[in-house]
Structure 1
Amino acid sequence: MAGFGIVAAWATILALVFASNGAHGWDYAHATFYGDIGGGETMMGACGYGNLFDQGYGLETTALSTALFNNGATCGACFQIRCIDSPWCKKGAGIIRVTATNFCPPDYSKTEDIWCNPPQKHFDLSMSMFLKIAEYRGGIVPVMYRRVMCYKKGGIKFELKGNPYWLLVLVYNVGGVGEVSNVKIKGSNTGWIQMSRNWGQNWQTGVRLDGQSLSFQVTGSDGRIVQSDNVAPSNWQFNRVYEGKNF
């Protein structure tokens, strides 16, 4: 009986550990695909990213259903996905890794094919990634997924847009958890200024910062902060991209 008690205790401990690390556990969802084999819809989207090839995401991307998208807060997060329990799963396909770059909108006018409607957890993959785990004929397959860390080449990128009275900054190529929960900006003549999320991973401020070098503090959803000092020189320009540090 003592041995049984030890086993039960360990089982309880493992269950608690698994629960506390739920982000690393597998969950159930479904997956479809969009676009064509060459990429198709890889420009813009609900996260605000531009050309996904130029920005380093390529075809290893997915749109998320409402239940996963979290009003854009999940943009930039990375997932592992594997096909399960379907005759359309490719044998020996293994696991794919994708970055969340778009939103799969719900359609409340339908009573069927409502995979992106709440509370469904759904991934609308690029065709290229879908075909790595399932047959084209399947169209939609059950999958298991889990959140994983993002590994990006180079530093976090800051694309500056707007006008002298309103600065909009697209934050992308984010490593670590991938999700950005907060951004602050600092001019060479100011203190740290809190930015607000405009949409997706676009962050804004109404403080005039022209003629000043710019620094950024980026906070991930795990609370980690990376600070990039003087990323953009004092003669920075709109529609340019500047590179800082990464997680």
Structure 2
Amino acid sequence: MGGGGAFEATIIYYLILLLGCKAAAQDAADWMSATATYSKQTDASIIIEGACGYGDLHRSSYGKYSAGLSSMLFNRGSTCGGCFEVRCVDHVLWCLHGSPAVILTATDFCPPNYGLPADYGGWCNFPRAHFELSPAAFAEIAETRADIVPIQYRRVKCERIGGMRFTVYGTSSFYQVLITNVGSDGEVVAVKVKGSKTGWIPMGRNWGQNWQCNVNLAGQPLSFEVTTSSGKTVTSYNVASANWRFGQTFLGKQF
């Protein structure tokens, strides 16, 4: 009886050990290698007018936890809004002790500089995977005396406060909406808009996370259907009343 109990305890111990090893192996497989630098701008943002179209990153809620991505990661703007966990690794002088991580949102494009070698100045040259952080975010993972550090990164879900935001721009025959504060995958891959006098109208990507269609929606309440890269869709009905104006921002549902 006692021997049988010891045998069962041993089996349970090795099962727990095996599951722990599998979890550790899976965690290691999630991480990919890249490099990181930081912007030399004096404020806490990467840039005020970045390649994703978000404008002032503090107003759009991304702030200092924003990143410019090399073309390898930026994917012509489709990665805009996606979230990454980043940590400094394998450098005893520059990486902070314990390799703390930060969660970043892709908000800008880090352009290549083919006049410089990829390992000295041309950090964003294709096919390098590279992140340009704000000084404040960089300081949370590495010493700011470093010019460039080796990192690991992985995609994570975006945790957002409040609903998605829809900022409308355009003219009487050209309608554009900037979508920010997107949860879940963060990457918007399809958008539809509906007025009270129309059906659902597919919108095309203009640039970054700006979406457009050639239609007059003046005087109609507006609804939006947003789909992310994982295939999840959220519909926000009548987020803008019939008297909406260009330049206004409206709050919708969240993933």
What TM-score do you get using the length of structure 2 for normalisation?
0.87
Question: Which residue, out of 178, 203, 208, partners 1:195?
Answer: 203
- Once residues 115 and 43 of structure 2 are traced to their aligned partners in structure 1, the CA distance between those partners, rounded to angstroms, is 30
Q: Which residue of 1 aligns with 2:72?
A: 67
Q: Which residue of 1 aligns with 2:4?
A: none
Alignment of 1:155-234 (within 5 A): 155-234=163-242
Query: 1:93, 1:132 within 8 Å by CA — same for their partners in 2?
Result: no
Which of structures 1 and 2 has the bigger CA Rg? 2
- Once residues 37 and 132 of structure 1 are traced to their aligned partners in structure 2, the CA distance between those partners, rounded to angstroms, is 17
Query: 1:149, 1:175 within 8 Å by CA — same for their partners in 2?
Result: yes
AA partner of residue 186 (structure 2): G
SS in structure 2 at match of 1:68: helix
SS in structure 1 at match of 2:53: coil
1:42 shift after superposition: 3.3
1:41 shift after superposition: 4.2
- Once residues 109 and 81 of structure 2 are traced to their aligned partners in structure 1, the CA distance between those partners, rounded to angstroms, is 12
Q: Which residue of 2 aligns with 1:97?
A: 103
1:35 shift after superposition: 3.5
SS in structure 2 at match of 1:190: coil
AA partner of residue 245 (structure 1): K
> RMSD value over aligned CA atoms?
2.1
Alignment of 1:114-193 (within 5 A): 114-193=122-201
Q: Deviations over 1:28-72 (max 9, x none)?
A: 000000034532543111000011111111101100000000000
1:91 shift after superposition: 1.3
Gapped regions of structure 2 (runs ≥ 5): 1-14
AA partner of residue 65 (structure 2): E
Query: 2:79, 2:187 within 8 Å by CA — same for their partners in 1?
Result: yes
1:29 aligns with 2:37: no
SS in structure 2 at match of 1:161: strand
Query: 2:46, 2:68 within 8 Å by CA — same for their partners in 1?
Result: no
Q: Deviations over 1:107-142 (max 9, x none)?
A: 122223211011100000011101111111111000
SS in structure 2 at match of 1:138: coil
- Once residues 132 and 60 of structure 2 are traced to their aligned partners in structure 1, the CA distance between those partners, rounded to angstroms, is 20
Question: Which residue, out of 113, 122, 143, partners 2:121?
Answer: 113
Q: Which residue of 2 aligns with 1:52?
A: 57
1:241 shift after superposition: 0.2
AA partner of residue 110 (structure 1): L
- Once residues 226 and 241 of structure 2 are traced to their aligned partners in structure 1, the CA distance between those partners, rounded to angstroms, is 18
1:206 shift after superposition: 0.3
What TM-score do you get using the length of structure 1 for normalisation?
0.89
Q: Which residue of 2 aligns with 1:43?
A: 48
Q: Which residue of 1 aligns with 2:85?
A: 80
Query: 2:89, 2:151 within 8 Å by CA — same for their partners in 1?
Result: yes
